[in-house]
Amino acid sequence: MTATDQLLFRGADWDFRTLQRICDACEQVARDELGLDVYPNQIEVITAEQMLDAYSSVGMPLFYKHWSFGKHFAFQEASYRKGLMGLAYEIVINSSPCISYLMEENTATMQTLVIAHAAFGHNHFFKNNYLFKQWTDADGILDYLEFAKRYVAHCEERHGRLAVEHTLDAAHALMSHGIDRYPGKKSLDLRAEEKRAGRRRAHEESAFNDLWRTVPGGKVKSDAILDVERRRQMLGLPQENLLYFLEKTAPRLRPWQRELLRIVRHIAQYFYPQSQTKVMNEGTATYVHYRIMSRLHQQGRLTDGNFLEFLQSHTNVVFQPEFDDPRYSGFNPYALGFAMMQDIERIVTNPKDEDREWFPDIAGKGDAMGVLRDVWANYRDESFISQFMSPRLMRHFRLFHLHDDPEERAGILVDAIHNERGYRRLRRELARQYDVGFIDANIEVVDVDLAGDRRLMLRHTVVKGAQLSEADTKRVLQHLADLWSYDVSLVETDGVGKVLKEYVANPRNIAVAA
């Protein structure tokens, strides 16, 4: 066989046979040389418009109808037309089979890149990372989304579009606080969820919660006021999963509204691992596509021209502007992730003394892929950075740490730079930027005034003086009050319990409770 016969394709054009050849070639490298373990792959070729479509419903192939997705579509379409935004080359879905979307406009080289990146890189990560294993149900998600879509449509038929919209609006506002952060009982089984939904609905329509026996208006006369501890225990307080709490205990929600909250909560939970593993996930996929593409080129299956085209897009993807560059908008997860993966490979295969000192477990171990597969399986962004950011990489990125205290009039303090004294502090601070515990506001339901006016009490524990933005908070609380259907209060307290600010919201008499 001559070298030209081995080429996967020539030029930029591709057809479905080419795609199949590309897939097979990528799979061979991924499986045999990199030892990747992936879900079955499904590749879908779509148009730019469909890509926009998928974008606006959080990248999912099917989703229930809601105006906000229309808004995102309109917004993205507008910026796409203005040329402000390029489209992503690919969208990949954490499901089994793992679905990757390819845009029809891509050249053959780009398709190869995308297949290597999404169908093997992301796919392996989805299947093996512990967070995804714990929190997402790849087999069930597509069926569950189908169920959610049907269920929402069914509710609209039965209860009117407006009532459903109000409920979903409220649920969306609380979506980021509808997540269990710590694995409790067991992982999700969305198929069983779906089956149970029907039965649960029937049951809840016939049963009622004794706790709320006294709900219908009037003055409550309860001699046996539950003692505080017992009450809090029964309600499962304190509870940081606001959607869960409402779903279980909001007194006047209809069963179908509870089911909607549940759906939004499940979907939020499904996306939770993605938010915690952006750097790792993109780093993995980028590292994998880089390895596969280089190997294909080595094997003579990509021409030099195609490989150069690939290198150009690859370089764009992993470009990290510096802080004073107008293009700078935070760390590029592709750049950071890829650099760290490559750095791990270097430490494993070709360590310096410094590396042996910092990474005694892996330095010089020799089996780069083995170490990387282990890393991909067992870390999330925060722990990954705090474990594997090396001094060499900190010097490479010329990292420095700023501490900005508004009380300090003089200015912003440079707290650490990339030197011996600074490495550990830099690494700790950078890892903290990826710690979900710090990223999301810490808001909990602390109590319900059962004896009095059923006010729901929330607390926001302020960290480092960052309080909630007032306008947004008022509107979210309004949604919360509408779902709860009694007053809701939120206090912001600092670390020692001093109250900094208090909000109260009264429920509106709108269709939510109707």
Distance CA 488, CA 222 (A): 22
CB atoms within 10 A of CB 294: 16
**Please, what is the minimum distance in Å from the beta carbon of residue 349 to other proteins?**
25
**Please, what is the minimum distance in Å from the beta carbon of residue 79 to other proteins?**
7
Distance CA 468, CA 460 (A): 8
DSSP state of 235: T
Let me know the angle formed at the C-alpha of 505 by 504 and 507, rounded to the nearest 5 degrees.
150
**Please, what is the minimum distance in Å from the beta carbon of residue 92 to other proteins?**
14
Contacts of 292 (CB under 8 A, 6+ apart): 26, 29, 30, 34, 116, 120
Phi, psi of 160 (to 5 degrees): 95, 145
Contacts of 313 (CB under 8 A, 6+ apart): 89, 110, 113
Q: Which is nearer to other proteins, 76 or 109 (CB)?
A: 76
**Please, what is the minimum distance in Å from the beta carbon of residue 213 to other proteins?**
32
Q: Which is nearer to other proteins, 2 or 329 (CB)?
A: 329
**Please, what is the minimum distance in Å from the beta carbon of residue 480 to other proteins?**
10
Helix (H, G, I), strand (E, B), or coil: what is residue 366? coil
Q: Which is nearer to other proteins, 88 or 197 (CB)?
A: 88
AA identity, residue 454: R
**Please, what is the minimum distance in Å from the beta carbon of residue 195 to other proteins?**
26
Contacts of 131 (CB under 8 A, 6+ apart): 272, 273, 276, 277, 380
Contacts of 250 (CB under 8 A, 6+ apart): 258, 483, 484, 485
Token pair, residue 244, equals 């869960």
Q: Which is nearer to other proteins, 43 or 348 (CB)?
A: 43
Torsion of CA 495, 497, 503, 506, to 10 degrees: 120
Q: Which is nearer to other proteins, 196 or 475 (CB)?
A: 475
Distance CA 93, CA 141 (A): 10
**Please, what is the minimum distance in Å from the beta carbon of residue 171 to other proteins?**
11
Token pair, residue 236, equals 């499962």
Q: Which is nearer to other proteins, 251 or 321 (CB)?
A: 321
**Please, what is the minimum distance in Å from the beta carbon of residue 37 to other proteins?**
12
DSSP state of 213: T
Q: Which is nearer to other proteins, 33 or 104 (CB)?
A: 104
Q: Which is nearer to other proteins, 68 or 350 (CB)?
A: 68
**Please, what is the minimum distance in Å from the beta carbon of residue 212 to other proteins?**
26
Phi, psi of 316 (to 5 degrees): -60, -40
**Please, what is the minimum distance in Å from the beta carbon of residue 331 to other proteins?**
7
Contacts of 484 (CB under 8 A, 6+ apart): 246, 250, 251, 456, 507
Q: Which is nearer to other proteins, 287 or 434 (CB)?
A: 434
**Please, what is the minimum distance in Å from the beta carbon of residue 509 to other proteins?**
20
On the question of a cis peptide bond just before residue 40, with omega within 30 degrees of 0, the verdict is no
Token pair, residue 169, equals 């609006």
Helix (H, G, I), strand (E, B), or coil: what is residue 145? helix
**Please, what is the minimum distance in Å from the beta carbon of residue 233 to other proteins?**
26
Q: Which is nearer to other proteins, 42 or 383 (CB)?
A: 42
Contact between residue 227 and residue 233 where contact means Cβ atoms under 8 Å apart: no
Contacts of 289 (CB under 8 A, 6+ apart): 113, 116, 117, 120, 121, 314
CB atoms within 10 A of CB 299: 14
Q: Which is nearer to other proteins, 27 or 137 (CB)?
A: 27
Q: Which is nearer to other proteins, 258 or 427 (CB)?
A: 427
AA identity, residue 324: D
Distance CA 483, CA 47 (A): 40
**Please, what is the minimum distance in Å from the beta carbon of residue 356 to other proteins?**
25
239, HSE (Cβ side, Cα atoms, 13 Å): 22
AA identity, residue 290: Y
Q: Which is nearer to other proteins, 147 or 368 (CB)?
A: 147
